[in-house]
Amino acid sequence: MYHRLRSTAVRGYEDRPSDMPLVVPIDSETKQRIKISIYFVTWWALNVVFNIYNKKVLNAFPYPWLTSTLSLAAGSLIMLVSWATRIAEAPKTDMDFWKALAPVAIAHTIGHVAATVSMSKVAVSFTHIIKSAEPAFSVFVSHFLLGESFPLPTYLSLLPIIGGCGLAAATELNFNMTGFMGAMISNLAFVFRNIFSKKGMKGKSVSGMNYYACLSIMSLLILTPFAIAVEGPQLWAAGWQKAVSQIGPNFVWWVAAQSVFYHLYNQVSYMSLDEISPLTFSIGNTMKRISVIVSSIIIFHTPVQPINALGAGIAILGTFLYSQVKK
């Protein structure tokens, strides 16, 4: 009996054509999770590289307004060339699209400049510890301005985020109020950007990649006159000559790298925003800061007090708890 069953099983296996692949079906939900995971990992890796080069540039060339402008200019140029050469399909837009994009571009410009100003004044790790409070800003804005309500555990999960950021700020060895306020303003601006982006992308045929490209172009137009007014070509020219004389040709590479990687990581993040909610986006944006904080401390040899690290750990733990209660 056993022999007959075994023979039948063997024949059944051998009867299967040799070129027939063994396919394990994957449901649509799993595929979506894999897709979002790939987006998130790529987004985080690109962001780490950007932050390293961005800080290198700002250490040698402390002009955050021009640095921010160059980042937007690089992204705009990349996409314009891609559209012209048909590497990427140009978006079909109308006046209503650009009107809806305007508040997003304003928020993006403010958040981008504020974060860069913060990075020019304090350590990368400190900027990102403070920016890990973004979920708290997202909940407060959603609650008080959009009228959304959340379960009690959501509000409670914000306590360690706020407390941890406060502890880290209070114990920061090289605390700078401009750097602190820049990170806080950036948090608020980017929450509005994410909310406006999600609303602006609804019902639109423009993909996340092209949406961010249009956003970069409009933000560049908004930022350029302000950058000229705040810093100006004379300071830029003198600062550039000094940086090149101290660093050498590598400085030009640093500027190019930070500009290109800024565009790439934001482009991938907007491709993620196509698939998720603003709150989930904020969670992913916060979790990626762990890799940025750790890598920047290692690369720049940033001194960290134990109590300062404890504050950062509490804030990150709060972010994890927040992500759990939001499931």
- What tens digit of pLDDT does each residue of 169-203 get? 888 888 999 999 999 999 999 889 878 877 666 65
pLDDT band at 13 (very low <50, low <70, confident <90, very high): very low
Q: Which ranges of 85-176 does DSSP label H, i.e. alpha helix?
A: 95-121, 124-131, 134-144, 152-170
In a domain, 101, yes or no: yes
208/197 Cα distance (integer angstroms): 10
In a domain, 35, yes or no: no
**Domains in the chain, number:** 1
186/105 Cα distance (integer angstroms): 13
Domain of residue 226, residue span: 42-326
In a domain, 10, yes or no: no
Q: Which pLDDT belongs to residue 19?
A: 53
- Is 134 in contact with 282 (CB distance < 8 Å)? yes
In a domain, 276, yes or no: yes
37/182 Cα distance (integer angstroms): 30
- Is 186 in contact with 114 (CB distance < 8 Å)? yes
Q: Is the predicted pLDDT of residue 232 greater than 80, yes or no?
A: yes
In a domain, 6, yes or no: no
Q: Which of 21-30, 160-169, 273-282, 288-297 has the lowest mean pLDDT?
A: 21-30
More reliable by pLDDT, 87 or 320: 87
In a domain, 17, yes or no: no
Residue matched to tokens 């934001």: 266
Tell me which H or E stretch contains 94.
Answer: none
More reliable by pLDDT, 48 or 288: 48
Residues 6 or more apart in contact with residue 228 via CB below 8 angstroms: none
In a domain, 37, yes or no: no
Q: Which of 148-152, 234-238, 243-247 has the lowest mean pLDDT?
A: 148-152
In a domain, 29, yes or no: no
